[in-house]
Structure 1
Amino acid sequence: MKRIAIAGSSGGNLFNLGGKDPEKLIGEIKAQCQSAGVDIGLVQFIAASESMDVAKDHTAAVLYGWNEDEQRLAKRYEGTLKDTNETAAEADAELADRIRSGGIDGLIVMSADPQGSNRQAVQAAAEAGIPVVGTGGTSMAMISSKGANVIATSGTTGTTNRTRAVSFMTSLCKYWGIKYIPVLGSAGDKSAAPAGNPLRRINLKGIMQSSLPGFIAMAIVLAISQIPALKGLSEVFDLMLKALPVVLAVVAAKQISDMDEVSIVAGVIAGVLSVNGGIIGGIIGGIGAGLLVQYLFVKCVQWKFPMTTVNIVAGGLAGLISGLIMYYLIAPFALQLGEFIKYIINQAISFNPIIAGVVAGLLIWPAIIGGVYHAAILPIVLLEMEKTGNSFLGAIDMVGLVMVSAGITLANIIAPRDRGEAAVAAPGFLINMGFGTFVEAAYPFMFSNKVVFAGAIGAAGVGGGLVGLFNVRGTAYVPSFMGPFLSNNVVGFAAAMLVALILAMLVTLVANKAWRTGRKSEQKPEIEASA
Structure 2
Amino acid sequence: MKRIAIIGSSGGNLYNLGGADPQKLLSEIRIQADSAGVEIAAIQFIAAQSSMDGAGKDTPAAVYSWDASSSTPVVRFTGTLEECNQYAKESDESIADALRSGQVDGIVSMSADPNGANQLTVQAAVEKHIPIVGTGGTSMALISAKGAKVILTSGTTGTTNRTRAISFLTAFSKHWGISYRPLIGDTGSGSISNSPWKRINIRGIMMSSLPGFIALALVLAVSKIPGLDMLSGVFDVLIKALPVVIAAVAAKQVSDMEEVSVVAGVLAGILSMDGGIIGGMIGGIGAGLLVNVLFRKCVEWKFPTTTVNIIAGGVSGLIAGLIVYYLLAPIALQAGEWVKVLIEGAVAYSPILAGLIAGLLIWPAIIGGVYHAAILPIVLLEMEKTGNSFLGAVDMVGLVMVSAGITLANILLPRDKSEATVATPGFLINMGFGTFVEAAYPFMFSNKLVFAGAIVSSGIAGMMVGVFDVRGTAYVPSVMAPLLSNNMMGFIVAMASGLACSLIITLIANQIAKKKSMQAIDEKMSA
Instruction: Say yes or no: TM over 0.5.
Output: yes
- Measured in 1, the distance between the counterparts of 2:65 and 2:180 equals 26
- Measured in 1, the distance between the counterparts of 2:462 and 2:283 equals 35
Matches within 5 A, 1:291-310: 291-310=289-308
Give the conservation status (yes or no) of the 8 Å contact 2:193–2:199.
no
Match of 1:119 in 2: 119
Q: Secondary structure at the match of 1:229?
A: coil
Within the alignment, does 1:236 sit opposite 2:234 as a pair? yes
C-alpha displacement of 1:84? 1.6
Match of 1:283 in 2: 281
State TM-score, norm by structure 2: 0.99
Within the alignment, does 1:273 sit opposite 2:271 as a pair? yes
Residue type of the alignment partner of 2:358: A
Residue type of the alignment partner of 1:191: G
Deviations 1:187-221 (A, max 9, x none): 5x1324242x3111100000000000100010000
Dislocated runs of 4+, deviation >6 Å: none
Match of 1:380 in 2: 378
Residue type of the alignment partner of 1:237: F
Match of 2:99 in 1: 99
Match of 1:207 in 2: 205
Match of 2:323 in 1: 325
Deviations 1:304-358 (A, max 9, x none): 0001100100000000111111111100110001001110111011000000000
Runs of 5+ consecutive residues of structure 2 not aligned to the other structure: none
- Measured in 1, the distance between the counterparts of 2:37 and 2:516 equals 63
RMSD: 0.9
Q: Secondary structure at the match of 2:227?
A: helix
Runs of 5+ consecutive residues of structure 1 not aligned to the other structure: none
Give the conservation status (yes or no) of the 8 Å contact 1:184–1:192.
no
- Measured in 2, the distance between the counterparts of 1:482 and 1:330 equals 38
C-alpha displacement of 1:186? 4.6
C-alpha displacement of 1:77? 2.0
Give the conservation status (yes or no) of the 8 Å contact 1:10–1:46.
yes
- Measured in 1, the distance between the counterparts of 2:365 and 2:423 equals 23
Match of 1:190 in 2: 189
Deviations 1:467-502 (A, max 9, x none): 000000000000011111100000000000001100
Within the alignment, does 1:337 sit opposite 2:329 as a pair? no
Residue type of the alignment partner of 2:59: T
Which residue among 340, 343, 361 is the counterpart of 2:359?
A: 361
Give the conservation status (yes or no) of the 8 Å contact 1:262–1:314.
yes
Within the alignment, does 1:167 sit opposite 2:167 as a pair? yes
Residue type of the alignment partner of 1:506: I
Within the alignment, does 1:488 sit opposite 2:480 as a pair? no
Within the alignment, does 1:75 sit opposite 2:75 as a pair? yes
Match of 2:423 in 1: 425
Match of 2:477 in 1: 479
Give the conservation status (yes or no) of the 8 Å contact 2:47–2:61.
yes
Q: Secondary structure at the match of 2:369?
A: coil
Give the conservation status (yes or no) of the 8 Å contact 1:181–1:194.
no
Give the conservation status (yes or no) of the 8 Å contact 1:182–1:194.
no
Residue type of the alignment partner of 2:117: S
Give the conservation status (yes or no) of the 8 Å contact 1:57–1:81.
yes
- Measured in 1, the distance between the counterparts of 2:523 and 2:365 equals 43
Match of 1:403 in 2: 401
Matches within 5 A, 1:112-151: 112-151=112-151
- Measured in 2, the distance between the counterparts of 1:178 and 1:241 equals 49
- Measured in 1, the distance between the counterparts of 2:130 and 2:360 equals 68
Q: Secondary structure at the match of 1:222?
A: helix
Give the conservation status (yes or no) of the 8 Å contact 1:112–1:118.
yes
Report which stretch shifted further, 501-510 or 72-81. 72-81
Counting aligned pairs with the same residue, the percent is: 65
- Measured in 1, the distance between the counterparts of 2:318 and 2:87 equals 49
Give the conservation status (yes or no) of the 8 Å contact 1:183–1:192.
no
Give the conservation status (yes or no) of the 8 Å contact 1:167–1:301.
yes
C-alpha displacement of 1:172? 0.6
Match of 1:510 in 2: 508
Residue type of the alignment partner of 2:335: L
- Measured in 2, the distance between the counterparts of 1:348 and 1:341 equals 11
- Measured in 1, the distance between the counterparts of 2:499 and 2:442 equals 17
Give the conservation status (yes or no) of the 8 Å contact 1:256–1:290.
yes
Matches within 5 A, 1:251-266: 251-266=249-264
Deviations 1:341-385 (A, max 9, x none): 110111011000000000000000010011110011000000000
State TM-score, norm by structure 1: 0.98
Q: Secondary structure at the match of 2:478?
A: coil
- Measured in 1, the distance between the counterparts of 2:46 and 2:521 equals 73
- Measured in 2, the distance between the counterparts of 1:295 and 1:259 equals 12
Residue type of the alignment partner of 1:63: V
| Corresponding pairs, count | 527
Residue type of the alignment partner of 2:181: I
Give the conservation status (yes or no) of the 8 Å contact 1:61–1:79.
yes
C-alpha displacement of 1:100? 0.6
- Measured in 2, the distance between the counterparts of 1:288 and 1:456 equals 41
Match of 1:443 in 2: 441
- Measured in 2, the distance between the counterparts of 1:516 and 1:58 equals 71
Residue type of the alignment partner of 2:166: V
Q: Secondary structure at the match of 2:53?
A: coil
- Measured in 1, the distance between the counterparts of 2:522 and 2:57 equals 85
Deviations 1:495-530 (A, max 9, x none): 00001100100000001111111121222232233x
Q: Secondary structure at the match of 2:208?
A: helix
Match of 1:47 in 2: 47
- Measured in 2, the distance between the counterparts of 1:434 and 1:446 equals 21
Match of 2:88 in 1: 88
C-alpha displacement of 1:62? 1.3
- Measured in 2, the distance between the counterparts of 1:524 and 1:145 equals 93
- Measured in 2, the distance between the counterparts of 1:81 and 1:213 equals 43
Match of 1:66 in 2: 66
